[in-house]
Amino acid sequence: MPFCMAHRGFSGIAPENTMIAFEKVLELDNVHSIELDVQLSREGIPVIIHDFSLERTTNGFGLVRDKTYHELRELDAGSWFSEQYAGEKIPSLEEVLELLRNKECLVNIELKTAGGLYKGYEHTIIDLVKKYGMENKVCLTSFDHKVIKNIKDIETEIRTGLIIEGNPVLLREQLLDCGASILSINVHFLTFELVERLKKDQFDIFTWTVNDAATMEEVIGISEDIYICTNFPDRYMETVTKMNKLAGNPINL
């Protein structure tokens, strides 16, 4: 069965990483996972935003880490996408976990950091996940190997994953060294051979960002066990439905 992961919420039709983008995912059937990005405000409150700087997705300027939570909440995180969403706020991680805690979907929390940017980052995120009893409903992923290793030293129950853009030598060994059970990989580097190697060791695979039907079909052709991370989860459902009709052995959503 192929799996659908909504990238930064339903970011194809709503401003990414906002409450409205997450709420619109919940209106759909058969979305198995939601991906989002977490950073910390100046006083250490986890907030949902992708870029280290504010300019692309808000009307603010400067770095996320330099702003207080109150200052971040004053920003407009919707107008850049459409005036329809003017006034959308940067959510806190706590708000999103509250929204999703009783939903039947995996929450893929990407930890946006590099080079020790946020002190105590791992403890802060883990404590919040545990507060909502979501240790088995989230996974924590990052490009930063050290962060993933730190998480496994703190809390072994929460699943972790490395995000990779490429196909480096000793990839399996890097995953094992970090204690990661998930590979999150750019779709351009996804191959049948890579998937077969990793499946032998029971690694789960996420691939991003897959927005067109043809690429979705290619990924499903490689393996039906891959999480397809997309801005358009509705296109995923349309694609699988079409493949269902054409296949002699239907793919179940």
Whether 7 is catalytic: yes
* Cβ-contact 9, 33 below 8 angstroms: no
Give the torsion sign (CA, 123, 47, 14, 52): negative
Q: Which two three-digit tokens encode residue 90?
A: 């940067």
Please tell me what DSSP assigns to residue 80.
T
Alpha-carbon span 77 to 66, nearest angstrom: 17
Whether 188 is catalytic: no
Q: Which of these is catalytic: 32, 50, 70, 145?
A: 50
Q: How far apart are the first and last CA of the chain?
A: 7
Nearest to 93 by CA among 65, 60, 128: 128
Alpha-carbon span 23 to 9, nearest angstrom: 8
Alpha-carbon span 65 to 62, nearest angstrom: 9
Nearest to 64 by CA among 80, 78, 46, 82: 46
Residues labelled as active-site residues: 7, 50
